[in-house]
Structure formats: C-alpha cells, structure tokens
Amino acid sequence: MQQQIKKYGYIVAILFLLVACKENERFELGYSDQTPPAAPTFLHYKPTYGGVKIFFKQPEDKDLLTIDATYTNNNGKEMWFSVSYFSNSIDVYGFANEEPYTIDLFAVDRAGNRSEKVSVVVEPLQPAVRQVAETIYCIPGFSSFYINWENGLMQSMNIFVDYAYKNQDGNTEQKHLIYTSREAEERKFIRDPGFIAEVEVEVTARVEDEYGNTSDTIALGSFTLKEDWLIPKMSWQIPDTNDSTIIDRTGNRINTGVPMGFFNGLEGRDYMAIDGLISDGTFVNFTHTYARGRTGDPKHGNMPWNYIIDLGDYYELSRIITHQRYRHTGATEYSGREDYYRNENVGTYAMWRWDDERQQWDSITTHKITFPIDLPDRQYRILGRQGDMAYMFPEDPQFTKPTRWFRFEALTGFGDNYKALNGNCLSEITLYGRKAEEF
C-alpha cells in the first residue's frame, strides 16, 4: 500500500512539473514568433456606470498572454485595458456619456503579436463622475462643515471642493481642496482657522475621474456655521482604574456598572489623554491599555475599553477631536506615517453621556475614523497631527443634553477592515460645546 502511494505521488509530481514547464514556456525570455493568435469571440456585454463589462471566449492558442480592449475617448485619447489569459471578461471604463462607443477587442501572445480586432458597439450607463456628483451634499456644523458623497463602483475619483467666506477684516477668503476617493461612501470634515462665529460659507464642488472626465460645477449652497467653544480641561478629572462610580448633581455616588479602563501599560499614562499635548513622536504622550479591555484582564481580550471624564461642570457637547499615537520617541522632521491609521490606534469608537434623570449612560453616536488611502507618506503625518473630528450628531449637528460625565468607548482598531481588536493606545481627547446655564 505504501509503495502504491509513493508511485502515485511520483506520477502527480511529474505531471505538476510538466504543467509548470509548459506555463514557464509561456513567459520564456527571448521568445519570438511571427504568428498572431486567433481573435477572441465576443459573447455579450453588461453596461455599468461609465463603463461596460465585456464577456468573451478565449482563442485556443498555447502562447496566449492577454486579452486587450481599446477605444478612443471624447478627448481623442486612446484608452487601453487588459486582462490575463485566465479571464473570460474585461472591464472597460472612462466613458463620458451614455452614447454608443466602439471598443476593439483583441488577443495578444507572449511575442507581442496581436490578433485581428473584434469591434463591439456598446452603450454604457450614466457616467461615474455624474453619478458621484449627484450624491454630493453639504451640511453646516460647528465652526466647520462636511461634505458627503457616494461612489458605488469605488472607482478612483477626485473631488474638488471650493469654498469662500469673509474673514474678520471683511475680506473674502477663497479656499480650494482636492480629495481622492475610492470608498463606497465618504464624509470629509472641513475646518478652517478663519471660520468665526456665524460666518457664512459658500460651497461648490466638482468631480473628475482618472480618465479625464469631469462633472459640471455643483453649487452646494451658502451656509451659516454654528458656534461652539473649546471646553477647558483644567477642571477635568478621571476615575481610578476599574472605578465605575460617578457623582451626580446632588452629590450622590452612583455605580454605573461601566468601569474606567487600564491606561498605565508600558510607557502610557492615563492622564496623558487629557493633558492638552498630542503624541508627536519626540516624547511619550499617550495612554496604553497593554491589551487590557473592559475586564482589565489581558486574558479576556483587548477591546472594548472605556475612558471616562469628569468635566468638572455641566456642558452641552457638540463635537470631539481625537489624536492617535504617532510613535514612541525618536521622530524627526523626515518621519512619515509611522503609527497613524494603523498598529495599536483606535479605528472606531462610541460616545456616551451620563443622564442624571434616568441614572444611566445615554448613547450619543458611534464614529469610524476614515482611513485615508493613496496619500504620500508624510501626508498621513499632517492629517494625524490635525486630529480626527466628529460631531455628536453628525446628520443634524446640534448640542447634546447637559452632562458632567463623558465616556469614550474604544471599539476596534483599523486592521482587518476595522475588525481588529488591537487598539491599545490613545493620545488625546478634546471636546467642544457650551456651558449648560441651567446647572
């Protein structure tokens, strides 16, 4: 029996080597012939936004390498797309409108010979730039505003945002921003040091794809921004590790059932999240749970964990800015991304306020810190130092009900598409709002 297994094993190994050798011949260096491959057989196509998916039958050529498709766009530029000989379909994008286009489909062998072209007339759906442009809208907020858009096909899009406002001297400031997007849904908060109380901002936008197509300029409107204030940190206090008690307005101590997390792991210290300093990599300034989640025991998981703040008085909250750990120490002017948007930083979190009347934690919202993609390495450092901002009520920016106690609940890290439970660190929490007059 053992000899038969060995025999079959040798046969399988020999067959594998033969197949491998045959595939290697396909990419042999210096290979040359003068015989073009047969043309692919067009089967049918499926229209998509700004493109089509063409289905075909491959020609039976041993040295087939790719199936290619070309067409000429409205600017007279030839657009080229290619798939490997394993594929039976090819995606073609970049159409500027919904009129008929002629696509040439052909095969290419490893010597570079091309087959005869098969001309296919297609009609795509609405251009992707127009589809994205129609979803853009703007919401005014607290000393800032945000724009939203949807990108269903997740194609690479550039979103051009222009806004204008009058500064304190009465002069008009004009600003221009560009965002590159590949996410299905995106939200970008726009902050400006020149935004003052009750300032009116006029916003326009335009969408452009990687093929040179562009939408019309979209007038998103003129908006009056709301006013809020930085909540001072000098009166803030934090509970001891594993302490779940708070003091209500009558002075009674109440066990909320939610303990303060452990933040003195390794070089981290609990007070560093509210000391007004961010982690810039030149010195240590962040908390570290050391993989101790809600239970405080590393054996029971790293996340979620809670950071609870006694604001020292009653406030109505409007927004939050969080800062991530940049690196431990040793950063220089040449340091790039380091830990921002990865490693042990928090990717999603929930916010809570203590409700004295109902004697319970009141959920405010859950926020996912957007992971920016395709940026130069140092641009991550700029964004990380700016911090991530979130409104308490993002769909309808407004103040929360009065509270003295705020809870930041870290849910996940950035890894594994925001599913990783390795978010150990936090550099700083900053809150905005207004003093609650009735308390």
The pLDDT tens digits for 49-92 are: 889 999 999 998 888 999 999 999 988 899 999 999 889 999 99
Looking at the fold, whether 201 and 270 belong to one and the same domain comes out as: no
The answer to whether the CB of 107 falls within 8 A of the CB of 66 is yes
**Percent of the chain beyond pLDDT 70?**
91
Rounded to whole angstroms, the Cα distance separating 437 from 217 reads 44
More confident site: 325 or 295: 325
Buried b / exposed e across 323-341, counting CB within 10 Å, b at 16+?
Answer: bbbbbbeebeeebebbbbb
Residue 122's CB is within 10 A of a number of other CB atoms, namely 18
Residue 431: inside a domain, yes or no?
yes
Q: What is the pLDDT of residue 8?
A: 47
Return d(Cα 271, Cα 275) in angstroms, integer: 6
Would you state the pLDDT for residue 249? 86
Which residues face 409 on adjacent strands? 306, 350
Q: HSE-up of 141 (CA within 13 Å, CB side)?
A: 27
pLDDT higher than threshold 50 for residue 12: no
Among 87, 122, 157, the domain boundary falls at 122
CATH of the domain at 300: 2.60.120.260
Which has the closest alpha carbon to 213: 91, 304, 124?
124
155 and 78 both lie in a single domain: no
331 part of a folded domain: yes
Residues 57 and 178 in one domain: no
Report whether 278 contacts 285 (CB < 8 A): yes
Q: Where residue 29 falls among pLDDT bands split at 50, 70, 90?
A: very low
Q: List the alpha helices (DSSP H) in 204-284.
A: none
**For residue 298, what pLDDT is reported?**
65
d(C-alpha 101, C-alpha 121), whole Å: 6
Residue 223 shares a structural domain with residue 254: no
Among candidate residues 227, 247, 282, the one where a domain is terminated: 227
Same domain, 81 and 53: yes
List the structure tokens of 220: 């998103």
Q: Which residue has the tokens 């003091």?
A: 247
**Is 214 found in the same domain as 112?**
no
Lowest mean pLDDT segment, chosen from 14-28, 105-119, 128-142, 201-215: 14-28
- Is 220 within a domain? yes
Taking the C-alpha atoms of residue 113 and residue 37, their distance in angstroms, rounded to an integer, is 7
Residues 6 or more apart whose Cβ sits within 8 Å of residue 300: 293, 294
pLDDT value of residue 299: 64
Least confident piece of the model among 1-15, 45-59, 315-329, 398-412: 1-15
Q: Map tokens 């919202």 to a residue.
A: 365
Burial environment of residue 56 by CB neighbours within 10 A (0 to 12, 13 to 18, 19 or more): buried
Query: Cβ(111)–Cβ(30) under 8 Å?
Result: no
pLDDT digits (tens, 9 = 90+) for 125-144: 999 899 899 999 999 999 99
Name the least confident of 43-52, 150-159, 160-169, 411-420. Answer: 150-159
* Residues 433, 344 contacting (CB under 8 angstroms): no
Domain count, the chain: 4
Nearest one of 57, 135, 67, 69 to 101, comparing CA atoms:
69
Confidence of residue 32 (pLDDT cuts 50, 70, 90): low
Does residue 36 form part of some domain?
no
Q: What is the mean pLDDT of the chain?
A: 89
More confident residue, 432 or 32: 432
Beta carbons within 8 Å of 433's beta carbon, 6+ residues apart: 228, 229, 231, 315, 316, 317, 318, 319, 399, 400
Please indicate, yes or no, whether residues 318 and 356 belong to a single structural domain of this protein. yes
- Burial string for 181-194 (b: 16+ CB within 10 Å, else e) reads beeeebebbbebee
- Least reliable range by pLDDT among 158-162, 265-269, 328-332: 328-332
Of residues 71 and 292, more confidence is placed in: 71
Q: Quick one: pLDDT at residue 28?
A: 53
Domain edge (last residue) among 194, 227, 260: 227
Q: Is the pLDDT reported for residue 327 higher than 70?
A: yes
Q: Are residues 282 and 420 in the same domain?
A: yes
Domain housing 20: 1-30
Query: Are residues 307 and 263 in contact, defined by beta-carbon separation less than 8 angstroms?
Result: yes
Q: What is the pLDDT of residue 72?
A: 94
Residue with tokens 């190994």: 13
The mean pLDDT of 281-292, rounded to a whole number, is 92
Percent of the chain topping pLDDT 90: 70
Task: Indicate the range of 37-41, 118-122, 191-195 predicted with least confidence.
Answer: 191-195
Give which of 84, 86, 90, 78 is closest to 46, Cα–Cα.
90
Q: Looking at the structure, do residues 145 and 248 belong to the same domain, yes or no?
A: no
Residues 198 and 269 in one domain: no
Run of H or E including 119: strand 118-122
Q: Are 354 and 304 contained in the same domain?
A: yes
Per the domain annotation, does 35 fall within a domain?
A: no
Position 183 pLDDT exceeds 90: no
In a domain, 405, yes or no: yes
- The model's confidence at residue 241, banded by pLDDT at 50, 70 and 90, is very high
If asked whether residues 200 and 327 sit together in one domain, one would say no
Would residue 20 count as lying in a domain? yes
Q: Which residues contact 14 (CB under 8 A, 6 or more apart)?
A: none
Is residue 283 situated within a structural domain?
A: yes
